[in-house]
Chains A and B, each alone.
Chain A
Amino acid sequence: MGEIRIEGLTKVYSGNVTALDRLDLTINDGEFFALLGPSGCGKTTLLRTIAGLEVATSGRIHIGERDVTKMSPGDRDVAMVFQDYALFPHMTVSDNIAYPLRIRKVDQASRAQTAARVGAGLGLNGLLERRPGELSGGQQQRVALARAMACEPSAFLFDEPLSNLDARLRLEARTFLKGLQHQLGVTTVFVTHDQAEALAMADRIAVMEAGRLRQLGTPAEIFHRPIDTFVANFIGSAPMTMLDADLVRGRLYVAGTTIEQEVAVRWSGPDPSDGPVVLGIRPEYVRVGAFGPMTVQATIRIVENLGATVLLTAETASGDRLQALVPDGTQPAVGAQVELSPVAERVLLYDEEGHLMTPATQAAPAPA
């Protein structure tokens, strides 16, 4: 009922700016779906095109059974919550929530009743007669949500729903939104530039760049197996360490060490051709000490305290920089010579074009 299917969607602005480039995407009914990417990648354009605020240059959009590509925004049966909530300042909270019903010509009494019910469900009791200007940021967000819920649409569209809240409130709101969406079971598409937010809230994520879809998958898939170096760099609180390496006859030469059979034999497909590759490993999966087939000698240069963890930046003899995230209290001092071992199962190899080479047949690694 609330499935959103996008076929070959293209949006070109005057001046030959391509905001969306032949996108194909299916959002499942009831899914909490994130559109993630840097600014200018087209995620907001995509959201607005689904809403009908932008007209696609070519391609089709289906919501449920209906082809809504040519429909005006009011007929698509979607509700949109904007970044600034767009609560009408001259109307009370109750009137704001009931606004979609007013357009649908529901009578005043029923409108007020629905507004009260929906508002109560979001903890807005007692605020119904106030004006939006008198509410806190969190309350305003809930009013905007209530307004979207009041018309019981097929899908919710959220444009950066959390960016107007301050940092502490944002985390609470994240949990709240996730719970609410799960409870309502309505298809929800939200746009964010914050990868942590997308990973935490979404069932599936579409990572976009320059109007194209880079990767589509669950948070776990995106985090553990970013499909190219762009996604790899974009995801993760601490950036993934990328090291230039050479693959020669099944052996990996990187950071002054050679990885022998252990890594090389895991290719189950055709052997990758020799040549320069990029090795990616997250600091979370680099340990201090000699474990596993890949061990690198390095000198600790920078120590950053992150609370419960410490981020180490080390330099190898070959001049490469390698980062490791270790529990607080176990970090070596600056200048210490240590051995760093990436967890073999977490190592990812990217070819010259930045595409992922490591096959997916690798079994999910046991917790270290």
Chain B
Amino acid sequence: MSDHAADAAGLGRPRAAAFMAPALLLITAFLVVPALWTLVLGATNYRLTGLAAANPQFVGTGNITEALSDPGFGWSLWLTLLFVLGSAIFGQSLAGLSLAWSLRSAPKVVKAVVETLVLMAWILPSSVVAFLWVAYLSRHGGTLNAILQTPGTDWLIQHPMASIIVFNIWRGTAFSMLLFSAALSAVPPSQMESARLAGAGTLAQLRDVVFPHIRGHVLTNTLLISLWTFNDFTPYLLTAGGPNHATEILPVFIYNRALYGGELGYGSAISFLMLIINLVIALFYVRLLRERR
């Protein structure tokens, strides 16, 4: 009966419109306009300096074709794929699931400690955690080298992708852990007990009882964290894309070329491609949610 009791305080349409106006204005200005602008700007050869700054030319899909044939872009895309696959799809999901599963039967204190640690990694500001890892992975005096007894290993130089993948897993697992924790607690205990009484071991329980229940959540979680990881700029704080483009994932690539290098038109075209990819992932996610409702 939405019409019936909706306007409880007697707001009326005009006042309601006024209430919504500031928010809608900001959202239009900083979400809608940039999205559209990317399209426009991406079709020009606009640069911050030089001839093209004063007199940008329309190049149509020129930027996009340039991007698609640019080895730097292809390389960046490949790195991003590795990054998302390794740290989100496999890393955070598996880590989150195994943590959620193990902590179910852990003593309360242990559970509290581990959850707090994992959550802290997520909520500490990005520049702080970035430096913590720079220190941790540092060649001379880094704690990792001290523990693994591998003195002199410069992890960020010698194993850059692995480093940022592990870093991102460390940083982002909290969300998956919380999500799976909630999902697991929604699995009816009676079903698990029936399986256990029937003789199922842990793996079998996971496969036959738990997984069917959380299958939907696994999918939506994976999509969500993939979207976030795909857009994550934080690795810049560790490597700035180096050494020598070795960790130049797409967000860093865009920054380096467009904002640092001044190629705004080209950068916009890449941003446009990025928006498209985001859109595809987001639509998948929404579709999944609708199906499960």
Interfacial residues, chain A to chain B (CB-CB below 8 A): 13-14, 45, 54, 72-73
Contacts and interface: CB of A to CB of B under 8 A. Distances in A.
B3 A14 contact: yes
Contact of B10 (A13, A14, A45, A72): A72
B14 to A, nearest CB: 16
Contacts of B4: 13, 45, 54
Contacts of A72: 10
Contacts of A54: 4
Contacts, number: 7
Contacts of A13: 3-4
A191 to B, nearest CB: 15
Nearest to A73: B10
Interface of B: 3-4, 10
B92 to A, nearest CB: 40
A227 B3 CA distance: 34
B283 to A, nearest CB: 31
A13 B2 CA distance: 11
Nearest to A19: B4
Nearest to A52: B10
A329 B287 CA distance: 67
A212 B81 CA distance: 67
7 contacts: A13-B3, A13-B4, A14-B3, A45-B4, A54-B4, A72-B10, A73-B10
Contacts of A14: 3
A239 B84 CA distance: 69
A72 B10 CA distance: 9
A73 B10 CA distance: 9
B13 to A, nearest CB: 14
A207 B157 CA distance: 85
A13 B6 CA distance: 13
A173 B111 CA distance: 51
A54 B10 CA distance: 10
A54 to B, nearest CB: 8
Nearest to B7: A53
B233 to A, nearest CB: 42
Contacts of B3: 13-14
A73 B7 CA distance: 13
Contacts of A45: 4
Contacts of B10: 72-73
A19 B193 CA distance: 53
A45 B10 CA distance: 16
A72 B11 CA distance: 12
A14 B4 CA distance: 10
B9 to A, nearest CB: 10
A45 B4 CA distance: 9
A150 B10 CA distance: 23
A129 B10 CA distance: 30
A20 to B, nearest CB: 13
A73 B3 CA distance: 18
Q: Which 7 A-B pairs have the closest CB atoms?
A: A13-B3, A14-B3, A13-B4, A72-B10, A73-B10, A54-B4, A45-B4
A45 B3 CA distance: 12
A54 B4 CA distance: 8
A23 to B, nearest CB: 18
B185 to A, nearest CB: 28
A306 to B, nearest CB: 37
A142 to B, nearest CB: 24
Contacts of A73: 10
A303 to B, nearest CB: 42
